[in-house]
Structure 1
Amino acid sequence: MAETVLTPELLPAGADGFVLRFALTPEPRAMAAARSLADRLEAAPPPGTVEIAPALVSVLLRFDPARTDRETLAAHLRTVAQEIAATEPRMPEPSRRWTIPVSFGNENGPQLSDVATKLGMGEDAAIREICASELRVLTIGFAPGQPYIGLLPDAWHLPRLSELTPTVPPGAVVVAVRQIVLFGSASATGWRQIGRAAFRTFMPERREPMPLRGGDAIRFAPASAAEIDALSGEGDRMGGARLEVLR
């Protein structure tokens, strides 16, 4: 199959913003390009930058019109995006890695069996594949601190459910379209719940309320239901997660 040609589009976002978009769908090369663009802009923000907000395949940049010229900024963004698109975009090397304990299957992952059947493997093999995957926080969105994590192997390109699950609990680990979402609070979802963590993605009482950042590496570590229950009861909403600073 021929690779998708990336054709970045620069779109206006009100009087003080641009959206730089690499694709209309979450295609892996477009996601890598968006993450690369966000990293470059965050490392060297153009003059007048007020906010940089990456999504799966696009980046929003807001600016102060009193401090920069719109056309000059647009030309700079086009140049950087075209440079990235002309190469083979890859996820930048992570500067941080999280290891997050998760209880998979049974009451904490009621749809793991269904997922494993669709993948043509046993539940234990599915868990091993998740935990062996080199995953990244692709973007933060939908709810405060909520990560979209990926990408799982190609076989995990599972469609969303045809009907919403009315609610999954805080810490639910759900999968679809080669991605994982880790819910910080109870939520309805059209994704399949395969596990649960004691880690919370939004902690407003902390100095940094959203512990995860776009680009962070993620590893999931199998834990028992009893271990997750104990971590949940300790009151520390980090839930046993361990952070390594890589560079």
Structure 2
Amino acid sequence: MKYIIIPFLLALSACTSTQITQALNEVSKATTTEKALTTAEVGQGLKEALINGISKGADRVSQTDGYFKNPEIKIPFPPDVKKVEDKLRQIGLGNDVDRFIMTLNRGAEEAAKEAKPIFVDAIRQMTIEDAWGILKGEDNAATNYLQRSTSTQLKSKFKPVIQNALDKVGAARYYTDLVNTYNKIPFIEKVNPDLNEYATDLAMKGLFMQIAKEEKNIRQDPVARTTDLLKRVFGQAK
């Protein structure tokens, strides 16, 4: 009974009194007609939910304009060298700056295609104890767990993917050209920031943001639960 009630409680706050009554009836029926969830099933259900969210999130941002036309995660010109962008625009190189920003985001979109299996592998290593903690947590508890437990490892794997993607779409070359142009301007302080580090951090941040949205959606929207196991773990508010 307790394995059925826990996920059921997650949905109560969004329900009307009629919906709550109907949902209580469903739980009552489930106690006699449905086998209680095991801890293994809860763990598997949480992993399914995370993998589902990662797949949707990664697929969304890896499409053309997935980063570039999403104002929440679009990667701008590196802010620590904003003076480079401003100066280049002042001397008539605005189109070159815009092209660089687009290719920078294209690099993140390209890298996102390769990132999904890295995240999925990390989720599959999640323990049962982790799963229970996530089930009882906030709407983004699973995403926070993933960031907390895998970010260091993921970054080490993600960074070369970003570098290859930036090289593939020409962002690194455009950036080098822009910085070299800026550094040739008389009486300015030369710059040479790490573009790969910057792009990696923002690309990962954007991806986690999309994953968090999908996790919240699965927790709150019964329609988003695409398998029987997910429906059992998270419960239904009909």
TM-score between the two structures when normalised by the length of structure 2: 0.21
**Would you tell me which structure has more strand in proportion to its own residues?**
1
Look at both structures and tell me which one has the larger radius of gyration over its CA atoms. 2
